[in-house]
Structure 1
């Protein structure tokens, strides 16, 4: 082929390549513009969620964005490994709303976080437990004395450990706490680097199935293990109607899961990367029901705060009532 034809073919190639690049660029730009047009003029509510929970399911269903649009809001979702990390983000202003267990709000309030309790789920004591390896010599809570116990510091399970040791007559200082997030705690548990692990569902169910771990004690008779929904005090004060929409959607989601546990497990499995069997186990022992935060639940929270202060796990004595949503008639 002479230089004349080489130049012609090279020119055609460059033209076609430029056309393809231009087409892809236009398509990508079009997608971005379409997405931007859907959220144009809308304010963003930053919501934090964890691996599992009613809020997580609501996020996966995608209905909240539709219901909040008439109120001028869209949603940005951010996943966190645990409640303490989520509330730290809320404390520094990165989140407006999120969910945690009982203990994280206590630590956050003691640290001065501008949070308010908005709503809570019913007690779910079987949803967390102290587990040990299948062949562990540990047979009862009394055997935990002097042992290394993994847990996520400041999470619900922290209070479960406190109450379990109290029941067994073991001073808190007589065990070796190893503070690890769930993924790292699972690795330490499987390698035998810790003697026991205090963990919540669905991590609890997943470890139970995969490692044949034994349940030393769950929360029954020890703790309530409630899920709480919290907002920054500023957001709650300025957006009561938005919070009401979120609460209604959470209730609808909770009712759907209660009536369709198998479908919920299948729906969630690919969303969170856990097996259907693990999620079915989690949902089958879970309780259902949501309510607005009330004085009775606040008193239960105060007991946790008092216990943590007595053990010097929090730096100051706090009043949970100070973090309740103030309403005006």
Structure 2
């Protein structure tokens, strides 16, 4: 593995240990709420589940949206979306940003979560990668191959749809459920034949000479979601803080799209992801926020049905039961 890759994946593959004593802001439904029912946001601390390389902390700080917050933010860092939602269910995290598959797995586990916001993240940064000298030329060539993927991630769904549209099932491959750092090592040493993953890992892997076999184009819609805990949503003060934060995140994404070079330079200093890798990733991202409308909910139901039909989750889920549209007015369509 090249030195820059070691640095990148060491920076990205950080999972925060969940401290059982830690509490999300919704544990006390009266905290931040005055006797007259008004809200005191200065009494609110939102606990955010973050991902290195996709970091909400870096996004808010670099864009300037972290300035003059009327409430406090505390961050815990995870390798991918599924552990963020586990932390939200446990009550130690209030909000996190994830892809389209993690909410499905959380819903199947009857987790205490709600999808509260959505944005189109783009499809070019979602890919199945192979080594540059691989004999695999077409998705149909994946039959019988060992493929690394993070279980319950957006790439899990991408891989599932690529297989299905090419007449294959998960039974036709040997899935290797690995976190990104381990998956890169496996691809680099030939222990797997392909790797399904997302940006900025895709951008870094391409820089290292690996080849994209197929992107998300034509296979997935590419929505990402903000997910909150039901306890935080039940608290009037933390719900008000979440409303403000979602607005700031939309503004931050708009700033990033208008200032990709500045974002790449400044976020590289905060996240450890190289400037050139970040620039590639951001230039092919969309960051187009939109309401949780019927089309969005229907598409996420399609994701859920695909996993249940493939028996990759234990039961069917009704995604509408895990949607909260109270913040729709904060998202432009």
TM-score, normalization by structure 1: 0.82
Deviation at 1:284, TM superposition (A): 1.2
Give the number of equivalent residue pairs: 285
Flag the structure with more relative contact order, 1 or 2, with Cα contacts below 8 A and sequence separation at least 6.
Answer: 2
Q: Indicate the RMSD between aligned Cα atoms, in angstroms.
A: 1.9
Q: Which has the larger radius of gyration?
A: 1
Other-structure match for 2:316: 317
Q: Which residue of 2 aligns with 1:240?
A: 239
> Cα gap change, 1:294/1:217 in structure 2, threshold over 3 Å: closer, same or farther?
same
SS in 2 for 1:125: coil
Structure 1 contact 88–108 (Cα < 8 Å) conserved: yes
Q: Deviation digits for residues 180-217 of structure 1, max 9, x if unmatched?
A: 1111101111011100000100011011102x111110
Query: What per-residue deviation string (whole Å, max 9, x for no partner) do you get for residues 1-27 of structure 1?
Result: xxxxxxxxxxxxxxxxxxxxxxxxxxx
Structure 1 segments unaligned to the other structure (5+ residues): 1-40
| Residues 87-132 of structure 1: CA deviation (Å, up to 9, x unaligned) | 1111111101111000000000110111111111115111210010
Compared CA separation, residues 54 and 188, structure 1 to 2 (3 A): closer
Aligned-partner Cα distance in 2 for 1:232–1:63:
26
The counterpart of 2:171, out of the listed 154, 173, 179, is 173
Q: C-alpha distance in 2, partners of 1:327/1:198?
A: 34
Equivalent pair of 2:62/2:267 in contact (CA under 8 Å): no
Higher helix share: 1
Alpha-carbon distance in 2 for matches of 1:258, 1:62:
10
Equivalent residue for 1:287? 286
Judged with a 3 Å threshold, the aligned counterparts in structure 2 of structure 1 residues 266 and 123 are, in CA distance, closer, same or farther, namely: closer
Show the 5 A alignment for 1:182-221.
182-210=180-208, 212-221=209-218
Deviations 1:270-293 (A, max 9, x none): 211121110111011111221232
Question: What secondary structure, in the 3-state scheme, does the structure 2 residue paired with 1:131 have?
Answer: strand
Partner of 1:302: 301
1:76 partnered with 2:77: no
Corresponding residue SS for 1:126: coil
Provide the C-alpha distance between the structure 2 equivalents of 1:86 and 1:64, rounded to a whole number of angstroms.
Answer: 22
Structure 2 equivalent of residue 226 of structure 1: 223
Q: CA deviation at 1:160?
A: 0.6
**Which ranges of structure 2 fall in alignment gaps of 5 or more residues?**
1-41, 328-333
Q: Distance in 1 between matches of 2:230 and 2:48?
A: 14
Assess, with a 3 A threshold, how the Cα gap between structure 1 residues 233 and 64 changes in structure 2: closer, same or farther.
farther
Compute the displacement of 1:64 (Å). Answer: 5.5
CA distance in 1, matches of 2:279, 2:260: 7
Query: Does structure 1 conserve the Cα–Cα contact (< 8 Å) formed by 2:51 and 2:80?
Result: yes
Equivalent residues in 2 for 1:51-62, closer than 5 Å: 51-53=52-54, 55-61=56-62
Work out whether 1:278 is the aligned partner of 2:280: no
TM superposition shift of 1:59 = 4.3
Q: CA deviation at 1:227?
A: 1.6
The residue aligned with 1:115 is 113
Contact 1:57 1:268 (8 Å CA) reproduced? yes
Runs of 4+ in 1 over 4 A off after TM superposition: 62-67
